[in-house]
Amino acid sequence: MKDGIKLPEDCNDMREVRQGVDATDRELMALLDRRFGYMRAAARIKTDRGVVRDEARKTEVIDNARSDASARELPAEKIAEIWELLVETSIAYELVEWDRIRS
């Protein structure tokens, strides 16, 4: 039990499951906030707008997510699709931040 929220294997009813899902979603949002903070840092650090998009790094990040998902016996290809969207959204966000910082 974490913060009064039961682990999945300890849930006995849908109320507990939903509480766990909602708590997990809040944790995911906090992690996304931190991840996008790194995008702001990258926008600040990179001196050339042209290097914001790095296809090799994008592939590496998505492959890492796919591999990690597979190791956890999660739907690896669907998670890779989610990561594709996450990385593309991150790149777009970083470009906006890059422009904002330098305007």
Model pLDDT, residue 20: 97
Express each pLDDT in 47-68 by its tens digit.
999 999 999 999 999 999 999 9
Give the percent of the chain with pLDDT over 70. Answer: 98
pTM: 0.91
- Backbone φ/ψ region at 5: left (φ over 0), alpha (ψ -120 to 50), beta: beta
- The three-state DSSP-derived secondary structure of 48-101 is CHHHCCCHHHHHHHHHHHHHHHHHCCCCHHHHHHHHHHHHHHHHHHHHHHHHHH
Domain 8-102 has CATH 1.20.59.10: yes
User: Where are the domains positioned within the chain?
Assistant: 8-102
Phi, psi of 53 (to 5 degrees): -85, 120
Spatial neighbors of 66 by CB under 8 A, at least 6 apart, are 76, 77, 79, 80, 83
Give the percent of the chain with pLDDT over 90. Answer: 96
